[in-house]
Amino acid sequence: MAGKFVEALFLVQGKVQGVSYREHCHNLAVKHGVAGYAKNSADGSVEILACSTPERVDAFANSLRTTRPIAARVDIVTEMSRKACTAPGQGFQRL
C-alpha cells in the first residue's frame, strides 16, 4: 500500500468543540501534508477526513492522538474507515 493514496475518516470525542480543535487539525494537516476536512458533529465530537499517502495519514492520526489545544480534552480518536482513493484533494477545510 506504500505510495498509494488513502482516505481515512476519524471521529474525535471529548471536549473538542469551542476550544480551537478544528484549527489544531488544520495545522496538523498542513504539517503532515494531508488534505481533507474537520467538522463539528451534533453530538459534540469532531469528524475528520484525511487524504494522503498511508504514511502521512498515519503520522497525522498519531498527532491527533498525542497533541491537542490546551483547552481541549481528547478522550478517544477512532478511525471509522479507511479506503484507497485516486488522489488527495487540495487543502484542509474547517467546516
Name the residues annotated as catalytic. 22, 40
Q: Per residue, what are the HEC states of 7-64? A: EEEEEEEEECCCCCHHHHHHHHHHHHCCEEEEEECCCCCEEEEEEECHHHHHHHHHHH
Strands, sheet with 46-52, edge to edge from the N-terminal-most edge strand:
73-85, 5-15, 46-52, 35-40, 92-94
